[in-house]
Chain A
Amino acid sequence: MTLALILIAVLMLGSAATAMLLRNLIHSALLLILSWAGVAAFYLWAGAEFVAFAQVLVYVGAISMVVLFAVLLTRQNRIVDVLIEPATKARALAGLFVGAGMAALLSVAVCYTKFPALADAAPQTSVKEIGLVLMRQHGGALLIVGVILTVALLGATILAATEAKRQPEDKP
């Protein structure tokens, strides 16, 4: 049980850290997809199957495609990959310092916290129950999320599809 959790954590954290270190943007994006799959595996480990499948559908399926398209559409050159260096050494060091400090702070805080008695077994849920709760107690929130998604996707389409100045040779 714990061994599986540690394996999942190594996969998730390792691929995320490597993705943030790599120069090649496409490799970074692919490794981040692996990391999101690791998050889905964690949900499966914790017994939240429905959320795990939602994570696979949304992150591994949809957002990964959007990210890959954005990477490909923003390449400056077909032959040479975009290499975008960190601005300065000082900025990189400051960012790493903030990250490490945050990690230390959170770890100390978590380790010294006493939690009340833990549940032994995962709460029993079924998809039917989730659907009923989603539509009854949280029906309003579900509607609002639907509106947010619709507006956001329309706005994204408009932003990305606005006609740029056409080159003279593009004229029909």
Chain B
Amino acid sequence: MTPLHLCLLISSGLFCIGLAGALVRSNTILVLLGIELMLNAANLNFIAFWRFGPSPAPVDGMIFVLFSIAVAAAEAAVGLALIIAVYRHQKNIRLQEANTLKG
């Protein structure tokens, strides 16, 4: 088993932990954090292929990850603001109870 295989296995483990967390938990914050974990797993793959793959341009993998981190930060900020807005209406952050968009 090469180091690349090991890295890919680790990142798929992180992805599956995030996926299971996002599916199982009912707390909206934890669902969002599970999605963040899945994004991080994708970033791990970018870095693993950048490090071990034969790459013509030596910086490209890092650039991918930088943009991905920036977009993930924006997503987390908007997601948590939405959670706070939903909490203000419903006084609850159970995912199952946030099933109406009327104010």
Chain B hits for A19, CB < 8 A = 21, 33
Evaluate contact between A70 and B74: CB separation under 8 angstroms: no
With an 8 Å Cβ cutoff, the count of chain A residues facing the other chain is 86
Max chain A Cβ within 10 angstroms of own Cβ: one of B74, B82, B87, B94:
B74
Q: A5-B6, A25-B27 are in contact. Are A99 and B20 (CB under 8 A)?
A: yes
Q: A80 on the interface (CB 8 Å rule)?
A: no
Evaluate contact between B36 and A63: CB separation under 8 angstroms: yes
Q: A98-B23, A153-B77 are in contact. Are A12 and B10 (CB under 8 A)?
A: yes
Evaluate contact between B69 and A13: CB separation under 8 angstroms: no
Evaluate contact between A159 and B52: CB separation under 8 angstroms: no
Evaluate contact between A87 and B20: CB separation under 8 angstroms: no
Evaluate contact between B24 and A47: CB separation under 8 angstroms: no
Chain A hits for B87, CB < 8 A = 73-74
Evaluate contact between A70 and B83: CB separation under 8 angstroms: yes
Chain B hits for A76, CB < 8 A = 91-92
Question: In chain A, residues 135-164, which have Cβ atoms closer than 8 Å to a Cβ of chain B?
Answer: 138, 141, 145, 148-149, 152-153, 155-157, 159-160, 162, 164
Q: A39-B40, A46-B48 are in contact. Are A96 and B71 (CB under 8 A)?
A: no
From the candidates A48, A106, A116, name the one contacting B51 in the complex (CB within 8 A): A48
Evaluate contact between A16 and B84: CB separation under 8 angstroms: no
Interface residues of A (CB under 8 A from B): 1-2, 5-6, 9, 12-13, 16-17, 19-20, 25, 28-29, 32, 35-36, 39, 42-43, 46-48, 50-51, 54-55, 58-59, 62-63, 66-67, 69-71, 73-74, 76, 82, 84-87, 91-92, 94-96, 98-100, 102-103, 106-107, 110-111, 113, 115-119, 122-125, 129-130, 133-134, 138, 141, 145, 148-149, 152-153, 155-157, 159-160, 162, 164
Beyond known contacts A106-B15, A115-B5: 8 more, CB 8 A cutoff: A32-B33, A59-B40, A74-B87, A86-B24, A86-B26, A87-B96, A153-B74, A160-B81
